[in-house]
Amino acid sequence: MIFITLLIIIMLIGAIVSCILKDLLSAVIVGGAVSLIAAILFYYLQAPDVAMAEASIGAALTTAIFVFAINKTKRLEENEENN
Amino acid sequence: MKKIISFVLLVIIFIGIYFAVSQIPYGKDKMSVSKHYLNNGVKENGASNIVTSVVLNYRGFDTLGELTILFIGAIGLGVVLFGFETKGKDIKSPSLILNAGSTFLFPFILLFGIYIFIHGHLSPGGGFQGGAVIASGFLISYLGYPKKRISEKGIHIVESLGGTLFILIGLLGLLLGGYFLSNILPKGTVNTLVSGGIIPLLYVLIGIKVGAELAGIIYKLME
Amino acid sequence: MDFLYHNIHFIGAFGLMFIGLYMIAVKKNLIKKIIGLGFVETGINLFLIIIGYIKNGTAPIFSKAGLDPARMVDPVPQALVLTAIVINVAILALALGLAIRLYGHYKTLNVEKIRGLKW
């Protein structure tokens, strides 16, 4: 139970970090890590089919198509002026 | 200023959702539909994996709708990026380890994906998971050889064939059984490879279709 | 503290949805908004599986002959979430195709410059 609590806290911290980073490639890779921790949580909730689907589709293929899209556009987020 | 107002509004929305959701019991017993599926699932279908029999036999029509949405998504991507030349950054030529490694790994990854969707009704797995593994095999073969590719016409033909055969088997069930996607083949003994009626056949078709579709999406975004 | 410890699963799922909605509403870059869309989908799938869980339950597969069907978890939400995960990847692929096309025409990915949005 302590282990699951620790995993959920790390997942939320990872989502907040992905919101703050300015480099889009790093933000996408942290998003893939959040998907991987969600797949581990699915296994602990006794759902092996869903864990396999989330690990293969959510963590691997989604990150791959994001990287291809960033290759064709910009890599760094633009700086914002005053709000 | 805008950030603070959005944050406060979202907090108010989520407090409202908490009051609505806190009535749901957590960790209590199941509903009566699930009890019926669990108690009578093996007798009526012959498949040991109850999630498979729910996806393909009890709720088979929803799976047909989901295959249609995936098909529309792939066609939409082809329409949006049609004839669009873009100057992305050049991909460097791959090193020797990537070249040799991708040549060696590609048939094993295909074999693993085929194993996953053939045993969908006996152990955790199924068509969607096996199709995703096959698509990752195509991805690594592209990273090793960026210039050579499997022909795109072949991938489109395989994908359309998978969808058409799925619908034809359903219509055959309508002719012989009385309703769409009824189970017409014999059920066999539980926990063997040939069991469960048409369920393994449908999962093989779904696995081939989803694998070819996701590989087509990746090829379209790569050019 | 006790309240947080017993409901940690729900806090995880709804926290992920909260962060995803915040990214869609506030960020200005188009690709950050699409990453937020992915987080909302993951949070919703997690919430659906949490509802179907039974304390000390097992997976719904009859691998041996004498397993007890009264202790297995609910199989119906798992079938629905399997469909939802595959639809999620189709949505993300179409959204990224539209973003690539917008970049080719306007040469920028900032929504304030594309549509003149002030809010």
For residue range B31-81, list pLDDT tens digits in order: 788 888 888 888 888 888 889 989 988 888 899 999 999 999 999 999 999
In chain B, what residues touch C74 (CB-CB under 8 Å)? Answer: 30-31, 34
Interface of A with B in 23-82 (CB under 8 A): 48-49, 52-53, 56-57, 60-61, 64-65, 68-69, 71-72
**Per-residue tokens: B209:** 């279709």
Average the pLDDT over C84-106 and give the result.
92
The percent of residues above 70 in pLDDT, for chain B, comes to: 97
**Domains (range + CATH), chain C:** 2-55+73-115 (1.10.287.3510)
Given a contact cutoff of 8 angstroms between Cβ atoms, the answer to whether A57 and B128 are in contact is yes
Given a contact cutoff of 8 angstroms between Cβ atoms, the answer to whether A34 and A11 are in contact is yes
Confidence (pLDDT) at B221: 87
Burial grade of B87 (CB within 10 A; 0-12, 13-18, 19 or more): exposed
Size of interface A-B (CB pairs under 8 A): 45
In chain A, what residues touch C58 (CB-CB under 8 Å)? Answer: 46
The ipTM, to two decimals, is 0.91
Angle at A6 between CA A3 and CA A12, to 5 degrees: 145
Burial grade of B101 (CB within 10 A; 0-12, 13-18, 19 or more): middle
**Is the pLDDT assigned to residue A83 strictly greater than 50?**
no
**Is the pLDDT assigned to residue C62 strictly greater than 90?**
no
Which of C93, A62, C102, C34 has the alpha carbon at shortest distance from B220? Answer: C93
Confidence (pLDDT) at A14: 95
Alpha carbon separation from B186 to A1, A49, B118, B208 (Å, rounded): 45, 26, 18, 24
Confidence (pLDDT) at B165: 93
DSSP-assigned letter for residue B168:
H
SS3 A23: strand
How remote is the C-alpha of B153 from its chain's centroid?
A: 21
Alpha carbon separation from B19 to A12, B14, B26, C119 (Å, rounded): 22, 9, 15, 30
Residues C75, C59: Cα–Cα separation, whole Å: 9
Residue spans of the domains in chain A: they are 2-72
